[in-house]
A and B are shown apart, each in its own frame.
Chain A
Amino acid sequence: MGSTMNLTSSRIEFSRRTLFAGAAGSLAASSISNEVFAKPVKPKKKQLLLLFLSGGASQFETWDPKPGTKTGGPFRAISTSIPGVKISELLPQTSKIMHRLTVVRSVNSNIPDHFLGHYALQSGRSVPGYPVLGSAVAKLLEQPDDLLPGYISIRRDGPKAYTDVGDAAFLGAKYEGVRIVNNQSPENLIAPLSVKPEITNLVDRVRMATDQRFKMGRNSNPIASYGTTYNQADALMKRREIFDISKESQSDHERYGKHDFGQNCLLAKRLLQSGVTCVKVTHFDWDAHQDNFYWHQIRCAEFDRTLVTLLDDLSEKGMLENTLVVITGEMGRTPQINNLGGRDHWGRAWSMVMAGCGVKPGIVYGSTNELGTEVKENPVKLGDLFHTYLRALGIDSSLDYNIDGQTNPIADPAAKPIDLLLA
């Protein structure tokens, strides 16, 4: 067990979504200002953007092509901005910015399963019950003046099958991802007109006075937690326009792409710019058991253009140096091509990518054998990745959570960060 980090417990006993649903009715209407979206400020704190390729992207058609081999598929490999490194021709825009990326070609998670993989790749563990990356980082990078949610997860409606597994676990509801589905704001961010500002102001003053009295001589943690949650809901209502991508320019909508992934990434950029600590965007439909090559052309075309646009924007705004971008799915896809032209589930030798904060750009770490059936050099376990993400964000991954006196390692003690990838 590592040393213990002083992380106070947060006992919030209702879900974030419930909170926001009820927030509008109970909060003071007077607290809703017309000045809803403050000027973007350069965030000083570190942030995380997780781009999750749900279903499992093929490493052959993305980061680790094997053209001309039995397993390689029909596509060519193209040169990149890193001399001597090639990626699939399905990522032509990305090939030009490879010098900004940190590619791991030797992931061996050995979990060829959607449900387990979604959890394991996000929690860094295969045993259940641990917080996923977004929740963990929201907790570990939390600052006293944070009022916006620490973790927001963006996806389109359905499938609900496997992307929302896990979440905050023992960290509590406060660190669960606030889900944005189909780019719709959380519900009830606008107070009903019937709620008069003067009444709610009065109620709020009474609440604070009562809290103050109640805390005298008692454990103040629960009351502090409720107060924090109240303030966060209030802040979110005031800044509800952070969810409104219609405020982004038409040219930005075009640049990011009008498809779900493009629009979701545009929202992700807006949220990061607004100061949200962790944002996850799920890009669906990589589970190509049939016609893998047709589907990867479509998915990669969406991903390629949007990724480059997003990284360009984060870089231009000076945000990339403080934002770790993690690109992974729950698994890779089989080297073998099935009778329907598909690739199936595969966890033994596949690829993921990082960029930005705390990682060395322009690195390709690890390799697979000629047919991509096994890791050849520098095998990487999912726990190693989790350690690496935290370290890149400046978090000592050897520490423990301390929740109500109970300690729990932040990251799997049996794994370790990949030092060669860390800046």
Chain B
Amino acid sequence: MKINPLKSKVTTEHKHDAPLLCCAYDMGGKFLFAGGRDNGVVVIDLKSGKKTILKGHDSWVCAISRIGPDVVLTSDSNGKIIAWDCGAEVPSQKWIIQAHPSSIQALSVSFNGDYLATGDRQGEVKIWQASNGKLAHQLAQLEYLISGLAWHPDGKQIITADRKPQKPRIKIWDISTLKETLSIDVPELSGYRRVEDIEWGGIRFLIVSPDGNQIIACGRNGYDGPACALLFDSSTGKLQRKFVSGLKGFCYYALFHPEGFLMTASGDVGKGEFQTWSITKDESVAVVSTSGPCSSIAIHPDGKQFAVTQSVGKNSYPDSGLIVFHQWEEK
């Protein structure tokens, strides 16, 4: 049964007392995990609607990804990763690793679920065995914060985004040799301010299309520019398309629906939106405005529902979060 990507409705909402930054469903579709600017992992039991806060992190939870049939990974600003076993009524810790000495900004799981990759503030990229959290590989250290990571569907390549000032970069790496095979400069997403010598832009998130032919980098077009996502050809590095939001802020997240359309989440001061795109068109096919900046989207394994995390608060100071569950109409 196909869904209509242009029409969705809100089913439920869950408030949280800290701004939320990331979310993911477990593979079985029993739980939604969310994390943000506090140390707790928010878990919503989709059947009962019950909200549980999982302990274990001692810093902000900045990235979440599901891996394998019953496991969800969460990572934090102190470099810790926790694997949560979702087989029971309430998820429990399966393993914990202190993966990095500094903040983990990017976390990505290989398509076959065998490996996860992590990137940190100091430019380290590590590849871990999903089954036990043992280190498998490490890329040569990049000089700049790793702001995005994505596995190629072939399982043989991994793509990194870093935060080089004025020229954020996407790099493709061959896992067998741990060598870089392609580097793409992305100055369009730089927000470099010479006065402070600070890169206030940068790539905020990175994904690869399901067929592996495209890379999508999220961010903001220039210092004052709109939130946008850029589509690159993964074999040539050529910029193919710009998905430009109506907001002046950042595009923080993007993901593909199994039916092929793209979704993006963006935020500005006190407002946000999520959009639906066809990757062959410049204009979005659907846009939904939200009361706070949207930070992430997760699509339920059944493909019919999705969740959006938001930050909520007065003006530019969010002090709480919101998880909004949506359901697409069926065609």
A residues at B contact (CB < 8 Å): 55, 68, 70, 73-76, 158-159, 161, 284-285, 287-291, 293-295, 297, 334, 336-340, 344
Contacts and interface: CB of A to CB of B under 8 A. Distances in A.
A290 B103 contact: no
A76 B103 contact: no
Given A76-B78, A285-B197, A297-B102, A68 B267 contact: no
A74 B59 CA distance: 5
Interface in B193-238: 194-198, 200
B77 A75 contact: yes
Given A161-B195, A285-B198, A291-B200, 9 more contacts: A74-B76, A76-B58, A159-B195, A159-B197, A287-B196, A289-B200, A294-B121, A337-B318, A338-B317
A290 B252 CA distance: 14
Q: What bracket does the count of chain B residues touching chain A fall in?
A: 35 or more
B60 A74 contact: yes
Interface string B47-82: 000000000001110100000000000001110000
Nearest to B314: A336
Given A74-B103, A339-B267, A339-B269, A159 B196 contact: yes
Nearest to B163: A294
B203 to A, nearest CB: 13
A293 B269 contact: no
20 contacts: A70-B17, A70-B319, A74-B59, A75-B59, A75-B78, A76-B58, A76-B59, A158-B197, A159-B195, A159-B197, A161-B195, A284-B196, A289-B200, A291-B200, A293-B77, A297-B103, A337-B19, A338-B316, A339-B268, A339-B311
Interface string B30-61: 00000001010000000000000000001110
B28 interface: no
B18 interface: yes
A294 B102 CA distance: 10
Contacts of B77: 74-75, 293
Interface in B240-282: 249-250, 267-270
A158 B293 CA distance: 34
B266 to A, nearest CB: 12
B18 A70 contact: yes
A68 B200 CA distance: 26
A282 to B, nearest CB: 13
A302 to B, nearest CB: 13
B130 interface: no
Contacts of B198: 285, 287-288, 290, 295
B195 A336 contact: no
Given A70-B18, A74-B60, A76-B78, A294 B103 contact: yes
A375 B319 CA distance: 21
Given A74-B78, A75-B59, A339-B269, A293 B103 contact: yes
A290 B163 CA distance: 14
A137 to B, nearest CB: 29
